[in-house]
Structure 1
């Protein structure tokens, strides 16, 4: 079969893998149980043979979505979960043990930071570092370090990790390298190209794209040798060694913990994924235009956007992210401009806590998703009280810029 591009592969994934009755989409399988005419076959599936037993560990619908994600990320296998946080919780709690050490970016999503607090209560040590320089990661290395975690682009400060340098460091020290690819998506970036072992995506964001389904995923890139990892339980050391890590995550994170993605949500995300590249191209174009406009407005003190030449990691972003710069802007308002008054004057932009939607969204970061962190940690992350997080959508560019213009001008006239 001829080699096809990103969107063609996703559009025709279900059909090529085989769909009932000639449908072009995998249908929504709502059954919670799956029967077998031969008890020996049922037992074989329980013992590791491919198949379905109970929907908590997956359905034909989630399986079809996982195959799409694997193709997007260029990996060897994927697992889907009820949310992105469920995916991360399953990853950390099934592959790390009490006494292990995790090195993580300090510029992380607020809920991920909260999860790390839980891991520490369970006896897992966590060190937060500045990931924009691999030297900070290397300085945190301990004999009990098992894993390094970073996001591609920080939310909302837009700091970009030294993804290549960290990948080389993890290879040299035989560490599991986990990259959260949510803000870039596999259309802008494939973390396997920098040596990532496991890639996480919040499917609720760009891949689903329409804010009508929650989901998360983990993808094994096939680059880590699981025979060298001390935390794989003997019962999961079966079959091809490349599958050992994901098998343990599936059995512990899905079967035991029940963080299962519903078939309905999987179907919604799967259909949304078909237009990922089209949406992202428009979104990134809008974001670049909006960033240029806002960076020259007198009511704006600073705009953090990787596409701007003023961004500290602009060259890194240009090299890594498929010639695009993502949808996320950190907009710090000038002194004297009331954050809430400005936001309340926006008419096209929606005030909501989400990113990666088709609609442009805005949120006062310090007073909402990072409120629990407190002022000291917010300052460390570069989150000012007047910082507005903007997730750009696919609106007409002129309408989007016009909305910000009228809201800012109204604040200036007060």
Structure 2
């Protein structure tokens, strides 16, 4: 089969990352050097110290009490290496501050557990990552009510709100179904109601979208994926955009109601979620992620363009029943994604017309790595129902639109024609 030739409108939709990414790449590349690095180094070095000593005990006390900014006392709460990465993520997301964690799930867990209490209620997109969905179920066991709705409709979110609703949680592009929430309208709703708006930006990353633009209070990134991008380091982060008024939030502990109210949310997450829960990002991983972030814009530009080319090709193949990718005009949120995102990312899913052929087709593929994970330089492929959503059960899969023949593909940096050729022989 031949590759579908895009029309002029579709071509122009892929030019945006080239125009928009220049400042992002430049600032990220030179962030460490501009902040000052020992001995003229280009990168912040890997600090392995667990303890940090002080000549004056007054300074040690100041770090513990928060009056001395920029100091370190114990590596569980951060190191100079993780602090340098946090500064980069803050700049990428145009935020107020960032806290890094050992994984993306650690970032989500720390955020929810430190900001919510028994009796609170949250509204979440129905189409969230499987482990996030599992975490939400666990929260219900702790007395926190959860409503899962189709966040493609802000009206559905609004209908689920209660007087005790504290937080709304969505992902920019759902994994694996690629549903896109009505991010702008939900942001306006949360702002009007004084509700914390948490947006998981993992799939798009700040190279394609900055949730601050739609009023997000907090932004989550699984640094393991798009930002690090090489499959060699785990990490996560939560960024405060500075848009939420924490002085009005009832769940801030008295100990953290001091100083600049804009910092209260992050302070509580760092103290309760990082210090107490211990999901600390190691300096070595932070260094790897920081270096990976330098090529973020280039990688996302390339993988998004390849994903769009491959999605069009798959859509035209007679053995493919459906393709889920926001860059396709057939996608229900195509116009919304085109308005919000600079490109549609590297994530696509598709269904085989014959689900019984799923294993045989995947086994014939030679380029995509048959593995879980996302956002790698190599393409990664996995059958969804019998693996990452197996534990959820058939009822949940049906509710999320996950068919038995659904396949998830994280597109890497291979040549588009090489991937097409591999799929062509596997489907033959």
- For Structure 1 versus Structure 2, the TM-score category normalised by the shorter chain is over 0.9
**Partner Cα distance (1:406, 1:76) in 2:** 49
Are the aligned partners of 1:299 and 1:337 in contact in 2 as well (CA < 8 Å)?
Answer: no
Q: Determine the structure 2 residue equivalent to 1:218.
A: 238
Q: Determine the structure 1 residue equivalent to 2:397.
A: 378
Instruction: Verify: 1:7 aligned to 2:21, yes or no.
Output: no
- Unaligned 5+ segments in structure 2 are 1-21
Q: Determine the structure 1 residue equivalent to 2:136.
A: 116
**Partner Cα distance (2:353, 2:178) in 1:** 19
Normalising by structure 1, report the TM-score.
0.97
Q: In the TM superposition, what is the alpha-carbon distance from 1:336 to its structure 2 partner? A: 5.7
**RMSD of the TM alignment (CA)?**
0.7
> For residues 47-87 of structure 1, what are the alpha-carbon distances to aligned partners after superposition, in whole Å with 9 as ceiling and x for unaligned?
01221000000000000000000000000100000000000
**Partner Cα distance (2:206, 2:141) in 1:** 33
Change (3 A) 1:408 1:337: farther
Instruction: Verify: 1:328 aligned to 2:350, yes or no.
Output: no
Normalising by structure 2, report the TM-score.
0.94
**Partner Cα distance (2:355, 2:87) in 1:** 51
**Partner Cα distance (2:104, 2:355) in 1:** 37
Q: Which of 378, 393, 397 is the matching residue for 2:416?
A: 397
Q: Determine the structure 2 residue equivalent to 1:252.
A: 272
**Partner Cα distance (1:27, 1:214) in 2:** 18
- The 3-state SS of whatever aligns with 2:206 is helix
Instruction: Verify: 1:45 aligned to 2:63, yes or no.
Output: yes
Q: Determine the structure 2 residue equivalent to 1:412.
A: none
Are the aligned partners of 1:104 and 1:149 in contact in 2 as well (CA < 8 Å)?
Answer: yes
**Partner Cα distance (2:340, 2:377) in 1:** 23
**Partner Cα distance (2:379, 2:94) in 1:** 29
Instruction: Verify: 1:164 aligned to 2:184, yes or no.
Output: yes
Are the aligned partners of 1:304 and 1:311 in contact in 2 as well (CA < 8 Å)?
Answer: yes
Q: In the TM superposition, what is the alpha-carbon distance from 1:335 to its structure 2 partner? A: 2.4
Aligned residues: 405
Q: In the TM superposition, what is the alpha-carbon distance from 1:238 to its structure 2 partner? A: 1.6
Q: Which runs of 4+ in 1 moved over 2 A?
A: none
Q: Which of 323, 342, 353 is the matching residue for 1:303?
A: 323
Are the aligned partners of 1:167 and 1:195 in contact in 2 as well (CA < 8 Å)?
Answer: yes
- Unaligned 5+ segments in structure 1 are 410-414
Q: Determine the structure 1 residue equivalent to 2:51.
A: 33
**Partner Cα distance (2:86, 2:213) in 1:** 20
Are the aligned partners of 1:365 and 1:388 in contact in 2 as well (CA < 8 Å)?
Answer: yes
Q: In the TM superposition, what is the alpha-carbon distance from 1:293 to its structure 2 partner? A: 0.5
Q: Which of 169, 173, 183 is the matching residue for 2:193?
A: 173
Are the aligned partners of 2:77 and 2:280 in contact in 1 as well (CA < 8 Å)?
Answer: yes
